[in-house]
């Protein structure tokens, strides 16, 4: 047996059988390649043995994508170099080349401190670094809440975060990547270089093998989306691989586009007296014109986030009883629904004007300028971030508590998004169903993109079942509204039934046709995206 392949014995490597979805799988062996050469060697071994292969990044996924069904696990956490920097003078843009195992948090730290492992960098990379130091700080905009995610995992899931409202998802910042295919070849994809024209494409691997294919016609929802393959008749082939949840190839290197760090960042949490007022504020903030409402025009925020009254109630309780949340600001009784808005700008003076305009909007929506928290320093912004993270964290703590008496329940968290025009309807749908069912639930999330996480908090197994039924009902309703069943976490192994709701059997067959082109034996990440897709 190949020395890179380690056997999974009774007690070893157990943690690699699960991810943050808390589902647990099975596997016979595992590897931790450190080079692309090793990745290829392992793929050759897999082919020889004809066993399924599951790819892992940092295993923070919430849909079980990195949980093996059986066979071999290739864990990429040690393929984690930051390999170089490129400066493109024409567009005045920097691109950082990384291996997939680099964690988002490490990438951020390196960019913040401008400290990179430059020993193996080329003179061009070093010159680019010099240029970067002169130009000032840059950042990588995708911002999933979980910063211990790996870049490979983020690309595989097309991860997004609060800032996606303005900056877009991970997809927008992947300029190029290298992918190892299941035939052992390496494919280099660079934006603008492998264009699909009228549905047809031809690409050649580095080893000289040509793949020709046809992109099936599919209508994707016009919303933030992480469900199924990205398919368009005129598209860039790199976009097919981004968000494909590791079912088409193994991302072994990526070139990421960086942006200059904004000089000024302001965040405002606004507390509105009702949900209706909060929804109106959201609509104004994202530029919708609302009849009979005279308000100043706000520049586009970079983030619009939401916390419903139940989420605030949960935080009130936590603040009172849990020392970990003592640092939360006081939530006054009149605070009903909260909206967090963030702006990036050239100066504090500019953003202070924006804040004053926002005040006018808040008043026009029926709120009070007094009921706001304005953060203008990294220190205060950190406080508002702590507040935002406190909601999901409180939910997880509560569920862990309840699992002690009923271990079969889990949190039921939705990840669906709808088009702008459906915002009020979808909130009504959730509120109505939750009230009618008597279930306990909190809602929060990326409301700018109409992407609300509903977290149902079951108190019993019965309630858990009820919650699951609601979840499926909502998936159907959201598909009917033109939305998506997963906007950011992906389909993985846990939501394949929802994907079927969204695209129907016909749609799934279209995805399968693409899958066959790159992985005809269905050996790579079996079980992801496709319902009942075994490795057999």
Partner 1 sequence: MKIIVCVKQVPASTQVRLNRETGTIIREGVASMLNPYDSYALEEALRLKETLGGEVTTISMGIPSVADLLKATLALGADRAILLTDRKFAGADTLATAYALAKGINRLGTFDLIICGKQAIDGDTAQVGPSLAEKLGVPHLTNVQQIKEIDGQRIQCLRLTDAGYETVELQLPALITVVKDINLPRLPSIAGLRRALSQPVTLWTAADVDADPNHIGLQGSPTQVTSTFVPEHQRQSERFEGDASQQASQLVERLSSLGLLGPREGGLSNDQH
Ligand X SMILES: Cc1cc2nc3c(=O)[nH]c(=O)nc-3n(C[C@H](O)[C@H](O)[C@H](O)COP(=O)(O)OP(=O)(O)OC[C@H]3O[C@@H](n4cnc5c(N)ncnc54)[C@H](O)[C@@H]3O)c2cc1C
Question: Which residues lie near ligand X (CB under 6 A)?
Answer: 19-20, 55-62, 65-66, 76, 100, 144-146, 149-150, 152-154, 156-157, 159-161, 245-246, 250-251, 488-490, 492, 525, 528
User: What is residue 352's three-state secondary structure?
Assistant: helix
- Indicate the residue whose CB is closest to ligand X: 153
From candidates 129, 182, 341, 375, binder to partner 1 by CB under 8 A: 375
CA dist., res. 434 & res. 417, Å (int): 18
> Which of partner 1, ligand X, none does residue 142 bind (CB under 5 to 8 Å by kind)?
none
Q: Check binding of 233 to partner 1 (CB under 8 A).
A: no
Beta carbon of residue 21, minimum distance to partner 1 (angstroms, whole number): 23
CA dist., res. 459 & res. 398, Å (int): 10
Tokens of 149: 């995610």
Pair 245, 491: CB distance under 8 Å:
yes
> Which of partner 1, ligand X, none does residue 399 bind (CB under 5 to 8 Å by kind)?
none
Choice between 83 and 138, CB closer to partner 1: 138
Beta carbon of residue 373, minimum distance to partner 1 (angstroms, whole number): 4
Choice between 263 and 459, CB closer to partner 1: 263
Choice between 117 and 136, CB closer to partner 1: 136
Give the angle 496-157-485 at the CA atoms, nearest 5°.
40
Choice between 55 and 390, CB closer to partner 1: 390
From candidates 115, 122, 193, 327, binder to partner 1 by CB under 8 A: 327
Task: Check the CA dihedral 156-157-161-163 and report its sign.
Answer: positive
Q: Which residues contact 374 (CB under 8 A, 6 or more apart)?
A: 266, 267, 268, 355, 380
Pair 501, 475: CB distance under 8 Å:
yes
Between the two ends of the chain, the Cα-to-Cα distance in Å is 22
Pair 234, 200: CB distance under 8 Å:
no
Beta carbon of residue 4, minimum distance to partner 1 (angstroms, whole number): 17
> Which of ligand X, partner 1, none does residue 144 bind (CB under 5 to 8 Å by kind)?
ligand X
Q: Check binding of 370 to partner 1 (CB under 8 A).
A: yes
Instruction: Specify whether the backbone of 42 is left (phi greater than 0), alpha (psi in -120 to 50) or beta.
Output: alpha
Q: DSSP letter for 191, please.
A: T
> Which of ligand X, partner 1, none does residue 287 bind (CB under 5 to 8 Å by kind)?
none
Tokens of 73: 């696990």
From candidates 350, 368, 406, 420, binder to partner 1 by CB under 8 A: 368
CA dist., res. 250 & res. 181, Å (int): 6
> Which of ligand X, partner 1, none does residue 337 bind (CB under 5 to 8 Å by kind)?
none
Alpha helices in 6-122 (DSSP H): 36-49, 104-113
The footprint of partner 1 (CB under 8 A) covers: 11-12, 136, 268, 326-327, 329-330, 348, 352, 355-356, 358-359, 362, 368-380, 383-384
């Amino acid at each position: 047996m190949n020395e890179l392949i380690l056997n999974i014995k009774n007690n070893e490597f157990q943690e690699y059988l699960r991810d943050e979805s808390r589902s647990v799988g099975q596997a016979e062996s595992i590897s931790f390649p450190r080079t692309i050469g090793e990745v290829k060697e392992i793929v050759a071994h897999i082919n020889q043995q004809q066993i399924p292969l599951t790819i892992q990044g940092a295993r923070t996924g919430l849909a079980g994508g990195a949980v093996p069904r059986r066979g071999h696990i290739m864990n990429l956490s040690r393929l984690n170099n930051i390999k170089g920097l490129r400066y493109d003078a024409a567009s005045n843009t920097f691109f950082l080349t990384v291996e997939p195992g680099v964690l988002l948090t490490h990438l951020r730290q390196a960019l913040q401190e401008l400290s990179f492992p430059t020993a193996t960098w080329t003179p061009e990379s070093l010159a680019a670094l010099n240029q970067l130091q002169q130009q000032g700080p840059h950042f990588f905009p995708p911002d999933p809440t979980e910063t211990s995610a790996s870049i490979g995992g983020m690309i595989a899931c097309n991860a997004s975060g609060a800032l996606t409202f303005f900056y877009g998802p991970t997809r927008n910042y992947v300029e190029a990547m290298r992918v190892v295919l299941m035939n052992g070849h390496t494919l280099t994809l660079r934006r603008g270089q492998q264009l699909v024209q009228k549905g047809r494409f031809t690409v050649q691997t580095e080893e000289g093998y040509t793949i020709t294919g046809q992109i099936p016609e599919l209508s994707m929802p016009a919303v933030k989306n992480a469900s199924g393959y990205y398919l368009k008749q005129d598209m860039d082939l790199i976009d097919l691989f981004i968000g494909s949840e590791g079912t088409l190839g193994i991302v072994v290197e990526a070139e990421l586009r960086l942006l200059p760090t904004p000089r000024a960042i302001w965040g405002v949490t606004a507390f509105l007296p009702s949900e209706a007022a909060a929804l109106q504020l959201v609509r104004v903030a994202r530029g919708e014109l609302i009849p009979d409402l005279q308000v100043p025009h706000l520049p586009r925020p970079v983030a619009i986030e939401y916390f419903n009254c139940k989420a605030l109630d949960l935080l009130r309780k936590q603040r009172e009883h849990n020392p970990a949340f003592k640092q939360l600001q006081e939530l006054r009784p009149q605070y009903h629904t909260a909206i967090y808005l963030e702006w990036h700008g050239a100066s504090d003076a500019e953003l202070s004007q924006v804040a004053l305009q926002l005040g006018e909007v808040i008043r026009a929506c029926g709120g009070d300028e007094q009921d706001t928290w304005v953060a203008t320093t990294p220190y205060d912004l950190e406080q508002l971030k702590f507040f935002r993270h406190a909601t999901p964290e409180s939910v997880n703590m509560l569920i862990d508590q309840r699992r002690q008496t009923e271990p079969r329940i889990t949190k039921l968290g939705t990840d669906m998004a709808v088009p702008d025009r459906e915002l009020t309807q979808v909130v009504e749908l959730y509120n109505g169903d939750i009230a009618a069912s008597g279930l306990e639930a909190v809602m929060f999330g990326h409301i700018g993109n109409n992407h609300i996480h509903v977290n149902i908090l079951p108190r019993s197994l019965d309630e858990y079942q009820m919650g699951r039924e609601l979840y499926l009902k909502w998936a159907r309703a959201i598909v009917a509204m033109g939305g998506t069943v997963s906007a950011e976490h992906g389909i993985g192994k846990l939501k394949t039934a929802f994907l079927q709701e969204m695209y129907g059997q016909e749609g799934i067959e279209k995805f399968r046709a693409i899958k066959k082109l790159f992985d005809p034996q269905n050996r790579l990440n079996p079980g992801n995206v496709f319902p009942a897709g075994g490795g057999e």
